[in-house]
A and B are shown apart, each in its own frame.
Chain A
């Protein structure tokens, strides 16, 4: 009981503002890892916080899982930008043949490969490996089964491993 009381959402506007003040920095980082763009991340976070404020009084217990769920589900419902004449694209064009003289940073490659994952898979990786949520927590948050989370994470990691821009170990280029 004591634990529930400690984790319960503080009621009212003051509680909400305290929550935003204390947690929005961390949520912004999660939003950024999902969107890969600080402006979009801020936009996503503000949208999620607005939705949360509308139901704040009805949140029972720790608000974090609910807020995270709103954040991720809002992100999942956003649509990819499409080409339209000279509309900027999300990603720089892919390199067919890596310039052997280029200094290619593997972490940069992982980051870019993450951006090519489907939104759901990217969300699973961010929640599992950045927010350190358990598979059960991620499943509750995404409203799916633990098996689905496992398979999504597994597929996402597999895609990263075979991504052509990520050099396999031992590749002596």
Chain B
């Protein structure tokens, strides 16, 4: 039985570790308030003026048998045009796209409403070349496809939540080139929705990866969470953790595994650090932690990742040597890699 006093103690202990108040909290609040005002005006005026053209132009697409793709898609009965998202929707969606997130700095935030089939931004002088990841936040329920510069980024049933879209290192150069997010040219962002109620809002966040040392290091809790085997992997299988003799620059001696079509690895960390798993020296899974909350990534099938990259084609039954490289960790015993049974 857990007494309420224990609960009070835990809450007070946790809250006591609050970081020093940053000096820019006030200016950040003013900045956000100005942004809310702008979006409020955009909701009230822009939706009726600037975006009305797009809605009207796409009116034929609102019929029940309209094709899907970038642009407004059938809405419910197909008889009424979607109305702009409410201010509350927009605020919620924007709030879920913070200025800094998981090693990235917000470079661009694009708000999309059902009335806006697509938005083309002006050139963004502050959008330099680099490694990006994207987040997608929506309110309401809909099937959503998001596109950037004609590259389809995701197809998702939007039931709420922030979806992060990242690419592993072996796919990133091609995706970045294909996405064409550059400071010297326009970019287009398109949203396609099906089953939309009409009061939905969606926000695409474009984050540029910062040098890890520059990303604010979170407050270290008094007690660190031990990393654990993911429940999805059940019992059995092999696990690798920080062991004797392994250093940041020297991966472990490796675990030999026989490839199956569904052989995967789960990378778990509970303190800031980066994990990479290699199969015969080829990277097949990556995961980064930026705080102490603890998180896990379950990789795509290793066989698939291997065959996406240059090298001999692998097939089920082949043996591979899996090795782990852990970097940026300063806390002991805060990561592990589990191999599916």
Instruction: Identify the A interface with B (CB < 8 A).
Output: 17, 20-21, 24-25, 28-30, 32-33, 36-40, 42-47, 49-51, 53-54, 74, 77-82, 84-96, 102, 105-108, 110-112, 114, 125-126, 129-130, 157, 160-161, 166, 168-169
Contact = CB atoms under 8 A, between A and B. Distances in A.
Contact of A130 (B2, B12, B30, B298): B12
Contacts of A44: 95
A54 B229 contact: no
Contacts of A53: 29-30, 33
Contact of B96 (A24, A78, A85, A107): A78
B216 interface: yes
Contacts of A93: 228-232, 266, 268, 296
A27 to B, nearest CB: 10
Interface size grouping (class) on chain B: 35 or more
B250 to A, nearest CB: 25
Given A84-B163, A88-B287, A96 B26 contact: no
10 contacts: A25-B18, A29-B16, A77-B95, A87-B297, A106-B6, A110-B10, A130-B8, A157-B4, A160-B7, A168-B1
Nearest to B286: A86
Nearest to A82: B161
Given A81-B162, A87-B166, A92-B295, A54 B36 contact: yes
A53 B219 CA distance: 28
Interface in B227-241: 227-232, 235
A94 B338 CA distance: 14
B14 A32 contact: yes
B223 A90 contact: no
B184 interface: no
B295 A90 contact: yes
Interface stretch (B72-80, B99-107, B119-127, B322-330): B99-107
B99 A43 contact: yes
A157 to B, nearest CB: 7
